[in-house]
């Protein structure tokens, strides 16, 4: 009996290995990249998405490498890698009826923003846990480690088409690095920035409105 179980285990292991090899070599990377870019352009006509490579990872997931998002032909966000790890059963579920759970890990992110004092932000990594059901995207948790700041946030996004109309309801805490806080305090923007709380050094904030007209406020 034990011998039979061992034989079955060997066969199962071999099948898993062969399936993994098949997935790596026959994975339709180019077709999937084109599909993602097409869907992205439909949601955000004024933006373009560039992806250099997409591959399978273990545990089961996807790694998207060398990503760049441009808004009106101007670079906005760049990332070396985005690793997407869907929940085990989420892949088989209908998002309109059941929530889709996904964990994403972003590495080496650069963001260019039209700000007068700090025009760009660099983050070493960002980790995001989200749930998506119907038109509601729940940000269960987001933590970021950056050069100018660290932070964490949570909340929700009511997704609309076009995506610029999506409603935001987000709150969190940012931890400005000393040199960043000094630069902001020394600018005309500094008057609206509260002092960090003494206990953890963080500055609580809220984001409402839409993507095209966000309303940012400190608590």
Tell the residue number behind the tokens 């590495």, with chain if given: 107
Q: Which of 81, 23, 25 is nearest to 53 (CA)?
A: 81
210 against 6, higher pLDDT: 210
Burial string for 91-101 (b: 16+ CB within 10 Å, else e) reads eeeeeeeebbb
CA angle 79, 210, 85 (to 5 degrees): 40
Residue, of 192 and 135, whose pLDDT is higher:
135
* pLDDT for the residue 150: 92
Note the pLDDT tens digit of each residue in 72-118.
Answer: 766 678 899 988 887 655 565 555 666 678 888 999 988 876 655 56
What is the signed CA dihedral for 81, 137, 177, 219, rounded to 10 degrees?
Answer: 170
Cα 195–chain centre separation: 28
Spatial distance between the Cα atoms of 166 and 213, rounded to a whole number of angstroms: 10
Q: In this model, does residue 193 exceed pLDDT 90?
A: no
Provide the pLDDT for residue 9: 47
- pLDDT value of residue 13: 47
pTM above 0.75, yes or no: no
Domain boundaries, the chain: 28-218
Residue 47 has pLDDT above 90, yes or no: no
Three-state DSSP state, 28: coil
- Tokens linked to 210: 């839409």
- Please give the pLDDT value at position 37: 85
CB 85 within 8 A of CB 61: yes
Q: CA gyration radius for the chain? A: 21
Calculate what percentage of the chain has a pLDDT beyond 70. Answer: 70
The pair of structure tokens assigned to 99 is 């929530």
Q: Where are the alpha helices (DSSP H) in 27-140?
A: 29-43
Cβ atoms 15, 25 nearer than 8 A: no
pLDDT tens figures, 1-44: 444 444 444 444 444 444 444 444 445 678 888 888 888 888 77
Confidence (pLDDT) at 146? 92
**Among 9-13, 48-52, 55-59, 143-147, which is the least confidently predicted range?**
9-13
Give every strand in the sheet of 149-158, ordered side by side.
47-57, 61-71, 74-86, 100-112, 120-133, 136-146, 149-158, 167-176, 203-209, 214-218
The pLDDT tens digits of the residues spanning 112-170 come to 766 555 667 889 999 999 888 888 889 999 999 999 889 999 999 998 877 788 899 99
């Amino acid at each position: 009996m034990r011998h039979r179980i061992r034989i079955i285990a060997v066969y199962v292991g071999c099948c898993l290995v062969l399936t993994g090899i098949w997935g790596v070599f026959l994975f339709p990377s180019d077709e999937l990249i084109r599909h993602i870019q097409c869907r992205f352009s439909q949601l955000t006509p004024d933006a373009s998405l560039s992806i250099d490579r997409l591959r399978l990872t273990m545990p089961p997931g996807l790694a998207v490498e060398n990503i760049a998002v441009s808004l009106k032909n101007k670079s906005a966000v760049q990332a070396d890698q985005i690793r997407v790890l869907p929940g085990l059963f989420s892949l088989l579920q209908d998002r309109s009826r059941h929530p889709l759970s996904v964990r994403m890990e972003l590495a080496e992110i650069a963001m260019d923003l039209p700000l007068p004092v700090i025009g760009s932000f660099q983050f070493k990594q960002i980790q995001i846990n989200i749930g998506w059901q119907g038109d509601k995207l729940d940000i269960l948790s987001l933590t970021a480690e950056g050069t100018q700041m660290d932070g964490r946030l949570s909340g929700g996004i009511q997704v609309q088409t076009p995506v610029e109309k999506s409603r935001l309801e987000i709150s969190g805490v940012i931890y400005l690095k000393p040199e960043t806080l000094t630069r902001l305090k020394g600018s005309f923007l500094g008057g609206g920035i509260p002092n960090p709380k003494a206990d953890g050094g963080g500055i609580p904030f809220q984001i409402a409105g839409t993507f095209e007209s966000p309303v940012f406020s400190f608590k």
